[in-house]
Amino acid sequence: MYLLEVRDLTKHFGGIRAIEEVRFRVMEGSITSIIGPNGAGKTTLFNCLTGITQPTKGRVSFLDTEITGFRPSSIVKLGIARTFQNIRLFKEMSVFENIMVSQHCRTGAGLFASILRGNAFKKEEKIIEEKALEYLELVGLEDFAETLSWNLPYGSQKRLEIARAIATEPRLMLLDEPTAGMNPQETSEMMELIKKLQELGKTIILIEHDMKVVMGISENIVVLDHGVRIAEGTPGEIRKNPLVIEAYLGKEH
Amino acid sequence: MFVQQVINGLTVGGVYALIALGYTMVYGILELINFAHGEIYMLGAYLGIIFLGFFTAIGLTSYSLPLALALTFVLSIVFCSAYGFTIEKTAYKPLRNASRLSPLISAIGVSIFLQNYVMLTQGATDKVFPHLFEETGFEMQGMTFTYIQIFIIVVSAVLMMLLNLFITKTRMGKAMRAVAQDKTMASLVGINIDTVISVTFVIGSGLAAVAGLMVAMYYGLVNYSIGYIAGIKAFTAAVLGGIGSIPGAMFGGILLGLVESLSSSYISPEYKDAYAFIILIIILFIKPSGLFGKAHEEKV
């Protein structure tokens, strides 16, 4: 079953064609990588999928709902979460608060309930707290719940971003360079974590530069160059594709 | 003398702090200086006169003064919140993606509009706040504390504590902090930014309504232009404490009130308004981000 379908997605910024008629489909439960040289339009693609930027043309369907033009908070509620290449935690909030603020889009009572503090609310709040701890355990941050998120070391901040994305209970997770700036040890831990997410039933799309990560965990790879999809296939197919080699290394003379 | 002036300073400072909170909360979320905020405070004072007048006419004030006052407060808060909500929706929201100067100009426009609207409907002369209770208080070692002063200090303190609880403990408060720190990211964890912005305006306007009403009770006179100077002072207080910081606005407001009242009694009352700005200049020289403000980081 296809979870996500992107059709002819195009985004122009003035005269710049950031992405041009990109199309691909993502199977439920799979790991897809988006690769391409710098400036290929990978992050713009993520921005269009999450409603941060509106595409110039084209359509995105998620679970058979057309989500083009939806606002970001509605897309999150449908089940798409994302992380950023440069960390964007709520840095003046504790680790725990970062998780809790992300769970509220899943609670029935909404943002106003806490003012009245009824019994149902208290019960819900307790469930939220238990779940928040679970998410922190998943990424190994349960001992840092009360730490201000800004004081965490870099690798832990990256993992907290992922925990915060999970807290919105997504079916599809978009991870923008999850291993950027990590040492080999941290990178392999991150790969473990991504595989764990897949085991939990999450579908994952990665933007990644580290080819070891890309080839190691993805089932499907989409290659972008100057906004155009130049190839798609399994790691084995992509490795041998002459167009991809050319995009990365230049034409053979 | 000193204690007396401290009490006077706390009274005015509490009011400044209540108004400053509205500036700082809106700035924290939209990076907009809401110049129309002082006008909400002025509307609060006028609405107080109107509602109290109405309750006097139907005999509620003579039946039960506390009930009439309580209802006046509630109605002023509701009306001012509605004004704040509407101003945001009509004057600022359409300009959300415009350059930063546009909403600022729009805010000044709203401020001019509201002043003239009140001047035309209520008249350009001073209005007297109904004199409903005796200016009583108690004396202690030659100093007088009026009940209204105590009332203003207590109400300001309680409201600030409630706001603090709201911001730190409730879901909406957490969402507000998240939006203030990173709007895009907040929307990506499912927070509806528009709702949070509306709530911010509603709360800020409610606090300004209380401030306006209390000042009208304290001084007894209201004028369509009182929002201007009060707004400038409260804005100064917010900058003093570090604009965007809620504890900063509370502290800045109280500090400003104390400076004004102490300096006018110990130095000279003629330059009362100047002291506030002298303090502001000194603090901005030493710490440009304000007392509680964080140094601005350039986003790369």
| Domain annotation for chain B: domains and CATH numbers | 2-133+148-286 (1.10.3470)
- Residues 6 or more apart from B59 whose CB is under 8 A from it? none
pLDDT score, position B275: 85
**Residue A63 placed within a domain:** yes
Of B169, B178, B184, the CB nearest to A101: B178
DSSP B11-76: HHHHHHHHHHHHHHHHHHHH----TTHHHHHHHHHHHHHHHHHHHHHTTHHHH-HHHHHHHHHHHH
Q: Tell me which residue of B192, B277, B201 sits closest to B237, measured CA to CA.
A: B277
Residues A159 and A107 in one domain: yes
| Interchain proximity B188–A82, CB inside 8 Å | yes
- Answer whether A157 touches B (CB < 8 Å): no
B119 touches chain A (CB under 8 A): no
- Quick one: chain A helix, strand, coil %, rounded to 5? 45, 25, 30
Distance of CA A230 to the CA centre of its chain: 22
Residue A102 structural domain: 92-168
Do A154 and A117 have their domain in common? yes
Question: Does residue A12 lie in a domain region?
Answer: yes
Same domain? For A188 and A68 the reply is yes
In a domain, A84, yes or no: no
CATH number at residue A33: 3.40.50.300
Report pLDDT digits (tens) over A167-200: 999 999 999 999 988 889 989 999 999 999 999 9
What's B298's DSSP letter? P
The span from the CA of B19 to the CA of A105, in Å, is: 32
Give how far the C-alpha of residue A124 lies from the chain's centroid of Cα atoms, to the nearest Å.
27
Amino acid at A228: V
Tell whether B175 is within 8 A of chain A (Cβ): yes
| A99 and A159 in a common domain | yes
Among positive and negative, which fits the CA dihedral B231, B237, B238, B240? positive
CA distance B22 to A46: 36
Rounded to whole angstroms, the Cα distance separating B237 from B255 reads: 8
Distance of alpha carbon B29 from the chain centroid: 17
Question: Is A148 an interface residue toward B (CB < 8 Å)?
Answer: no
- Which ipTM score applies to this complex? 0.84
Query: What residue type is assigned to position B187 of the chain?
Result: S
Interface test with A, best of B96, B97, B188, B199 (most A CBs within 10 A): B188
pLDDT for residue A203 is more than 60: yes
- DSSP β-bridge partners for residue A203: A172
Of A85, A31, A4, A24, the residue nearest A223 (C-alpha):
A24
pTM (2 d.p.): 0.89
pLDDT in tens, B272-289: 888 888 888 888 898 888
Distance CA B31, CA A130 (A): 35
Predicted confidence band of residue B299 (pLDDT cuts 50, 70, 90): very low
The last residue of one of the domains, among A168, A191, A225, is A168
Indicate the number of domains in chain A. Answer: 2
Question: Is A73 within 8 Å of B191 when comparing Cβ atoms?
Answer: yes
In the numeric block, the tokens 């819900």 are attached to A124
Q: How confident is the model at residue B97 (pLDDT cuts 50, 70, 90)?
A: confident
pLDDT at A66 over 80: yes
Contact B190 A97 (CB under 8 A): no
Judge whether A85 lies within some domain.
no
DSSP state of A148: B
Query: Does a structural domain hold residue A240?
Result: yes
Same-domain status, A224 and A115? no
Q: Do B171 and A168 touch (CB under 8 A)?
A: no
What is the C-alpha to C-alpha distance for residues B143 and B4, in angstroms, rounded to an integer? 6
Q: Which of A168, A201, A228 is the last residue in one of the domains?
A: A168
Of A121, A150, A168, the last residue of a domain is A168
pLDDT tens-digit profile of B104-150?
999 999 999 999 999 999 999 999 888 776 667 777 777 777 888 88
Of all residues in chain B, the one with the smallest CA distance to A113 is B171
Q: Do A114 and B169 touch (CB under 8 A)?
A: yes
Per-residue confidence band for A148, with pLDDT thresholds at 50, 70 and 90: very high
Rg, chain B, Cα only: 19
Indicate yes or no: CB of B185 within 8 angstroms of CB of A90. Answer: yes
